[in-house]
Structure 1
């Protein structure tokens, strides 16, 4: 086999590998994200740009929190937060902290979900979570039955407890 033919075969194999990798990306989370974002834009156009959503965190050890974000006409207007722990005797949740923020006090507390609209969450999903190294992390992207974003994040493959980094929307209510 002559030298030029070998180079041509190697170049062809490299092109095929790159094309396969790009096809894998197209068949992966990017496509699902774009489909879900399109669905969100469609539903938001029908329902309006006023809604609330809940974000919950629960640790394996029993503590957790819940945050409700309220969005009116495309802008965050409120945040409600409750932190809790599990009573070791009864197993019941006990509230250990809470607050309510309105437009005048938004962002005055450090704890709780960030002050983001669903549009912001879709952007964060694409630029912060779906781009992590797939070899070192397990990536999650899930939608609800309507096709709207429910979960976008990752867990490092060598992590044991409470390692999820990302977005988790538990409920969405139109106002």
Structure 2
């Protein structure tokens, strides 16, 4: 195991502990914002996931930047209980809880591989902010993982 992966494993465990503390202190009620964008254009997007007592109650999506040519009904939308994950968007983050984000981080995004560059960052509280990888040799929009802009208790 390389030093980088080992370091990320330790950092991941510390972050997971910070998450479990935040989760307990917030009564598992929070919202988090996933950000994304294209390196090829001036287009970015955000998906806000709202969780109340461990259940996803809302997913909100919005495009920002150079939105010319995008269909009006795709620029911004909100899904509430009973309709979560019904919009088919290849850029909107799926509505998953932070527990699920941490599971994906551990099982999919931080897996050791010689043909990828792995990224792992936390915010000032130790909560996950960037986690994922880019395959070596990929030119643009290659990140597989998550960029979390903010996590706040409700």
Equivalent position of 2:103 in the other structure: 123
Residue 45 (1) aligns with residue 24 (2) = yes
Residue 109 (1) aligns with residue 99 (2) = no
Q: Where does structure 1 differ by over 4 angstroms across 4 or more consecutive aligned residues?
A: none
**Aligned ranges 1:73-152 → 2 under 5 Å:** 73-86=53-66, 97-111=75-89, 112-133=92-113, 135-152=114-131
Cα distance, 1:44 vs. partner? 1.6
Structure 2, unaligned runs of 5 or more: none
Cα distance, 1:29 vs. partner? 1.3
Q: Structure 1 CA distance, aligned partners of 2:75 and 2:33?
A: 17
Q: Between Structure 1 and Structure 2, whose CA radius of gyration is higher?
A: 1
Answer whether contact 2:5 2:112 (CA < 8 A) is retained.
Answer: no
Equivalent position of 1:170 in the other structure: 149
Higher relative contact order (CA 8 A, sep 6+): 2
TM-score (norm 2): 0.87
Q: Structure 1 CA distance, aligned partners of 2:149 and 2:137?
A: 26
Answer whether contact 1:85 1:95 (CA < 8 A) is retained.
Answer: no
Greater helix percent: which structure? 1
TM-score (norm 1): 0.77
Write the deviation string for residues 71-104 of structure 1: whole angstroms up to 9, x where unpaired. 000111100111244168xxxxx99622110002
Let me know the Cα RMSD of the aligned residues: 2.1
Number of residues of Structure 1 aligned to a counterpart in Structure 2: 148
TM-aligned CA distance change 1:85 to 1:35, over 3 Å: same
